[in-house]
Amino acid sequence: MADLAPTEYLYELRDVNWDDGPLGNYQLYAHPITRKTARRIYFTYLNQSRTSFVDRQKIEADGEVYHGYTLRRLHLAPPEIPDRPKRASLPELKQQMADAHPDRGGTDEAFIAARQRYKTAKARQDGASS
């Protein structure tokens, strides 16, 4: 029995909550490569029957390419998933607010923004503990 060649993929990193939730909820999609020519790499997008292609020289030189039809960035190797930034604690936000105060050399805009972040976090914590 002949050994089957391993399937190759183009990879896409997508933030699945970009429109209605917290940013940083990443998922990695693997699109199977169906054929390679000297100029193009053909793949099926999200396991659909439709085949698309990318410029082979560009993706092999850069490791990634922007695919204009799907408006996605595709990678030859699985990209590293970014760490989700941790939320600052209330004491940290309170310190940031104090540091941004105009009496301590901050600006009015910076203080207002820091105070709003603090109030939002406090309301979120108060709502979770209720």
| Whether 32 and 69 share a structural domain | yes
Number of domains within the chain? 2
**Positive or negative: CA dihedral 103, 104, 105, 106:** negative
| Whether 68 and 26 share a structural domain | yes
| Whether 50 and 99 share a structural domain | no
| Whether 69 and 13 share a structural domain | yes
Q: What is the mean pLDDT of the chain?
A: 84
Q: State the pLDDT at residue 1.
A: 47
pLDDT digits (tens, 9 = 90+) for 57-116: 999 999 999 988 878 899 999 998 877 667 788 899 999 999 999 999 889 999 999 999
| Whether 46 and 95 share a structural domain | no
Q: Residue 50: give the domain boundaries.
A: 9-75
| Whether 19 and 67 share a structural domain | yes
Q: State the pLDDT at residue 9.
A: 92
Which distant-in-sequence residues (6+ apart) come within 8 Å of 107 by Cβ?
100
Instruction: Tell me the C-alpha distance between 57 and 65, whole Å.
Output: 10
**CA angle (114, 117, 123) in 5-degree steps:** 140
Residues of the chain with pLDDT > 90, as a percent, come to: 42
Instruction: Tell me the C-alpha distance between 130 and 121, whole Å.
Output: 14
Residues 81, 57 contacting (CB under 8 angstroms): no
pLDDT digits (tens, 9 = 90+) for 7-57: 799 999 887 766 555 566 788 899 999 999 999 999 998 767 788 999 999
**Would residue 83 count as lying in a domain?**
no
